[in-house]
Amino acid sequence: MKNIVLIGFMGTGKTAVGRRLASRLGRKFIDTDAEIERVTGKTIPQIFAQDGELRFRSEERLVIQKLSRQEGMVIATGGGAVLNPENMADLKRNGITICLTAEPEIIYQRVRGKKHRPLLNKKGDLLGQIKELLDRRKPFYQAADYTVDTSYKTPEKVVDEIIAYLTAGNLKNGWEPDSNL
């Protein structure tokens, strides 16, 4: 049974939607950032501060390699996981990728004041930083099998939309409907 992999920028709802989607489908939910924290014994901000982004991306790569060999899960990735082509290849090999998007202003509202976003903890124009990162990552996010804009939707509505997509037969890459749908 293929994994369902949520990709997208920070603040688009990957974890909130992923938990609900996994619950509805009766699947295990894994957040790659939480898994990195569990494996390293450090928070993501600690890894960035003490070891740097390169170390974080290395840990992220190892976690994705491990998870992509398993099946039947809902996986929420960190926003930058897509930057490594090997990550995307692994995730797509045994998964259906769903990109969650949101308008920059909505992301700004969702992430401002949060200290656990190391890439946005720089001084200056937070909205501008979000727009710049979104622009750089847009081509990577476009590699998803399906995209849902979460800007004005509840997590439950996003889950409904993902399930509708999966069950509509839109996928020709081996997704089998879960028995409890």
Q: Flag whether pLDDT at 179 surpasses 80.
A: no
Report field, pTM of the whole predicted structure over 0.85 = yes
Residue 33 pLDDT greater than 90, yes or no: yes
Q: Helix, strand or coil for residue 102?
A: coil
Q: Strand order of the sheet with strand 146-149?
A: 28-31, 73-76, 3-8, 95-101, 146-149
Q: At what angle do helices 104-111 and 126-141 cross, to 10 degrees?
A: 120
In the chain the domains, ranked by start, together with CATH numbers, are: 3-158 (3.40.50.300)
* pLDDT at residue 144 tops 90: yes
List pLDDT tens digits, range 38-61.
Answer: 999 999 889 988 999 899 999 999
Looking at the chain, the whole-number percentage of residues with pLDDT higher than 90 is 74
pLDDT over threshold 60, residue 171: no
pLDDT at 173 over 50: no
Torsion of CA 76, 82, 86, 87, to 10 degrees: -10
Tell me the pairing of strands 73-76 and 95-101: unpaired
Q: Counting beta carbons within 10 angstroms of the beta carbon of residue 173, is it exposed (0 to 12), middle (13 to 18) or buried (19 or more)?
A: exposed
**Average pLDDT in the chain:** 89
Tens digits of residue pLDDT in 126-139: 888 899 999 999 99
At 121 the pLDDT is 55
Region 151-164: what's the mean pLDDT?
96
